[in-house]
Amino acid sequence: MTSLTQPFLSVDALHKAFVLHGQGGMTLEVMRDLSLTLSPGECLVLAGPSGIGKSTLLKMLHGSYRVTGGTLRLHFEDGDLSLDTLPAHAWHTLRRDVIGYVSQFLRVVPRVPAVEVVMEPLLARGVDEAETRARAEAMLARLNLPERLWSLPPGTFSGGEQQRVNIARGFVAEHPLLLLDEPTASLDAANREVVVQLIQEAKARGAALLGIFHDEDVRDRVADRLLPLTPHMGATIAPTKPAAEEVR
Amino acid sequence: MKRPDLDRATLLEARGVSRLYDPGKGCEAIDIRLHRGEVLGIVGESGSGKSTLLRLLAGMERPDAGQVVYRSPVAPGRDGSGHEGELDLYAIGEARRRALLRMEWGLVHQNPRDGLRLGVSAGANIGERLMALGERHYGQLRAAGQDWMGRVELDPRRIDDAPKTFSGGMQQRLQIARTLVTRPNLVFMDEPTGGLDVSVQARLLDMLRTLVRELGLSVILVTHDLAVARLLAHRLMVMRRGQVVETGLTDQILDDPQHAYTQLLVSSVLTP
């Protein structure tokens, strides 16, 4: 198997249904009995056609969607933390310090310059402003965002530029668990390459990553394992690709 | 890696508070917990009872039933070690309650003219709460006035101008400066961007986000505008006909609403 370390994340028999009250209370069952584990230093990639529930899984792990059934647990040295029963206010700190999320789309706050969008997760932790700015700028430079754009609000940026701001924001804070929802969707080859490097560095520092990548080349290079989701039922854990190298 | 400490101290708690003017008008049996450093949004349509609830929580209107309890921290605005115990808001005297609103809390009205003294200078408006706390040194009051005008992006050279010469957006920023200058532990905001032009709203929202983070503010925010709630609030309560129909993280409520009414509310928003 991929890693000898204890898993950091365990998902057991996860179930998600949406009840649509506007449609006469119709129930839309999007996931049933999905289980997986994820270890530090490992990147697990969710596979399957769109609409199969990949993003839904990430949103449940980030607390944006509620869990209909099953359990989500993080394992720490001194005990487990159940995410499915966490009170809402506990998520504020958890998102700040533990679980990071990079979506395809940047939710633009009017008037906030790109560099400050990237700085925000570190400022929220109380990191010194000068250090935060330096780290944010280094990240934007790595992602080849032209320096003249750093002080501008990203509202008018192209899709690819906005996405790079979003990626910088997602990776700058080095969360121990990172959820990646197609971070390379509208990037050119050079910037896809940077994202691959960022993912490999995150793995090397022991982060656990769960991602969705439609780009097969990126997927093959970052994935330690693939988890194929099948219609309506989610999946059970099925390593389809042997780990290229042992991660720690 | 150690398990993170996710608990935060409760700052304000309402237990079963009710104030009904007529059946379905007002609010009924509301429970709330506001944690330190948290922005709690109360959303709902007009007539849902959200403004009534704000007045009950802020000590401005006595509930027919229930309790509002404030846990006053010793060191204002800090990370929250120790407090001087519970204050039952409507068990203490009127004078104490007013003092609390003046000293430890802040209130931002929808209409800045309700929160400002229009005839006296901007500087005097900002200095008023400081003076109530015992600051008498003219130079320090003036320095605080200039500092805060800068923080809310007003030209400090206009410190001697009366707010009636300011635009609506400027007046709102002045009201915010006047309220936050004393670093309140708890701020109540009633539709703070409500009467403003959209272009002015964005600036104010960005400014409020920054102030919340920098000062570690705890806020109860009433708004009917879900976009404002999305940008400012960590957690939401959805009200309808005087009752809370759903609570949760802001993105839970807006992206995965559970209650029929919340689903209707969220799906009715126009996105340009």
| DSSP of A30-73 | EEEEEEEEE-TT-EEEEES-TTSSHHHHHHHHTTSS--SEEEEE
- Residue of chain A whose alpha carbon sits nearest to that of B252: A64
Shortest CA gap A197–chain B (Å): 24
Check B205 against A81: CB less than 8 A apart.
no
Nearest to B116 by CA among B170, B66, B153, B157: B170
Residues in chain B within 8 Å Cβ distance of A86:
6
With an 8 Å Cβ cutoff, is B4 touching chain A? yes
- Residue of chain B whose alpha carbon sits nearest to that of A112: B206
Kindly report the average pLDDT of chain B as a whole number. 91
Q: Residues near B163 by Cβ (< 8 Å), separated by ≥ 6?
A: B112, B116, B117, B118, B122, B125, B170, B171, B174
Digitized pLDDT (tens) for each residue of chain A, 248 residues in all: 444 578 999 999 999 999 999 888 899 989 989 999 999 999 999 999 888 899 999 999 999 999 999 999 999 999 999 999 999 999 999 999 999 999 877 877 788 899 999 999 999 999 999 999 999 999 999 999 999 999 999 988 999 999 999 999 999 999 999 999 999 988 999 999 999 999 999 999 999 999 999 899 999 999 999 999 987 555 444 444 433 333 33
Q: What is the pLDDT of residue A239?
A: 42
Tell me the whole-structure pTM to 2 decimals.
0.91
Q: What is the pLDDT of residue A2?
A: 46
Check B6 against A59: CB less than 8 A apart.
no
Residues in chain A within 8 Å Cβ distance of B256:
18, 59, 64-66
B104: amino acid identity, one letter: E
Which H/E stretch holds residue B174?
A: helix B168-180
Shortest CA gap B178–chain A (Å): 23
Residues in chain A within 8 Å Cβ distance of B260:
21-22
Distances from the Cα of B77 to the Cα of A86, B38, B104, B144, B215, angstroms: 26, 12, 10, 18, 7
With an 8 Å Cβ cutoff, is B231 touching chain A? yes
Are A179 and A211 in contact by the 8 Å Cβ rule? The answer is: yes
With an 8 Å Cβ cutoff, is B1 touching chain A? yes
Are A84 and A92 in contact by the 8 Å Cβ rule? The answer is: no
Minimum-distance CB partner of B231 among A77, A88, A109: A109
Check A77 against B258: CB less than 8 A apart.
no
Q: What is the pLDDT of residue A99?
A: 98
Pairing of strands B235-240, B10-22: unpaired
Q: Residues near B257 by Cβ (< 8 Å), separated by ≥ 6?
A: B238, B246, B263, B265, B266
d(CA A147, CA A228): 40
**How far, in whole angstroms, is CA B122 from its chain's centroid?**
21
Q: For chain B, which ranges sit under pLDDT 70?
A: 74-84, 272
Q: Residues near B239 by Cβ (< 8 Å), separated by ≥ 6?
A: B27, B42, B43, B44, B48, B49, B50, B53, B245
- CB-based burial, A133-166: b 16+ in 10 Å, e otherwise: bebbbebbebbebeeebbeebbeebeeebbbbbb
Q: What is the pLDDT of residue A247?
A: 34
Which H/E stretch holds residue B95?
A: helix B94-103
Q: Which of the 8 DSSP states describes residue B185? A: S
With an 8 Å Cβ cutoff, is B175 touching chain A? no
User: Which residue reads 């940047």 in tokens?
Assistant: A106
Are A3 and A245 in contact by the 8 Å Cβ rule? The answer is: no
With an 8 Å Cβ cutoff, is B71 touching chain A? no
Identify the residue among A56, A89, A122 best suited for mutation to test binding to B, counting B beta carbons within 10 A and taking the highest: A89
- Residue of chain A whose alpha carbon sits nearest to that of B201: A110
With an 8 Å Cβ cutoff, is B272 touching chain A? no
Minimum-distance CB partner of B6 among A59, A65, A93: A93
Shortest CA gap B252–chain A (Å): 5
Check B206 against A110: CB less than 8 A apart.
yes
Residues in chain A within 8 Å Cβ distance of B206:
109-112
Structure tokens at A144: 């080849």
Q: What is the pLDDT of residue A243?
A: 38
